[in-house]
Every structure is written in C-alpha cells, then in structure tokens.
A and B are shown apart, each in its own frame.
Chain A
C-alpha cells in the first residue's frame, strides 16, 4: 500500500521563526510532490509543487525533495499567525495519477 507519513503535530512556533515540516513516502516510483495548506473547516489550497531533487523556493516557502531518502519537507520562513493551519503532504504516483495524502501536520504560530 502506498503510504504518506507526516508528524501530526501540533507544531508550535513563535512568530518570525522557521517552521519545518517533514513527509516520508513509501513508493520509490513517486514523481510529483505537493504541499497543501488547509485552514480549519476549509478545503486544501495548493502552496507548493516539486518534481525533482533539491530545493524549490516560493516566497517564504521552500520545498525540499530527496528521492533517494524518500522524503519531502516544507520550510516556512518568518512564520506569521496567518500560517496557522494544517499542512498536507501529497504524493502523485504517476502510473495511475492518484494523489495520496498524509494526515497533515497542524502548525500554530504564536504571536
């Protein structure tokens, strides 16, 4: 079974700090990786996608992918109270284009 594992948290960080989120996946054939942000009671919102090893930066967000170790991470720099949400890691297994989601990591940014 294809699995995506995340620390459930909650992860509490002070405002202005870096929040570091990790995700591991089981299928070495995975090709596409996504991070979604989900506010309480709302639907997931795509914030980052990454397809190749290394780092990808978009504003205050950096995604890191290491296919050899089968993990993908998300860094949130200069964390703001508005970043308080659950972050979902999703992995696309290209043989069937299905997204498998982790259970999410809840982040709380303390003002």
Chain B
C-alpha cells in the first residue's frame, strides 16, 4: 500500500536553531497538509497545499515557519528559529482531493532543548 513518506523520524535541536522536515505524499495526491500535534491533543492544521499553491496557512506562525511545495509533489516545512514551544509531532498528510480522506505519514518527533 502506498504511503506518505516523512523524514527525519526524530529531530533533537537547540532553541534558536533552524530545523526542516520533508514530506513525499502518495503518488497522485494533489492535496498535501502539514499538521502539528502536541501531546494529548488532536492534530492542528498548519498549512494546506493544492498542487504547488498554498490553500490555507492561516494557522502557520509565519514569523518563524515556512512551507513550500515547489513542483507540486514533495514538500518542506521549516522552522527558523526554533523555540521550546515548538516541541511536538509534525505530521504530513495527503489526499487525492480536499474532499477525500487524508492519509498520514509516520511524522517527525521534534524536541527542542
């Protein structure tokens, strides 16, 4: 079964450093999502792409977070500079269209020291 690929699986870094996450969606999935999940809470949408275009980034802290999907396939989420409160699981998901079920990757567990 096709999967959403994410890397790295784990990332430990110090505050003020830059960190980047990568996601490769299921082939043919036009819609890609980045979520942040804090322990004990449900995932919170950070940014949604339709092909290479940002559809929604209203919850993305744009002073430190950026996301891109240049060729409409894989995507990168960056944090610069990282803060202690950014420690969380960062999940990437994709769907054929925005109306269809989303399928999640394994996530990146980020710990900020």
Contacts and interface: CB of A to CB of B under 8 A. Distances in A.
A92 B107 CA distance: 21
Contacts, number: 53
B25 interface: no
B42 interface: yes
B106 A44 contact: no
Of A45, A97, A102, A104, most buried by chain B (CB within 10 Å of CB) is A97
A1 to B, nearest CB: 12
B101 A49 contact: yes
Interface of B: 31, 33, 40-45, 48, 55-56, 89, 91, 97-99, 101-107, 109
20 contacts: A32-B99, A34-B101, A36-B104, A42-B106, A43-B89, A43-B106, A43-B107, A88-B42, A90-B42, A96-B56, A97-B55, A97-B98, A97-B99, A98-B45, A98-B48, A98-B56, A99-B33, A101-B43, A101-B44, A103-B41
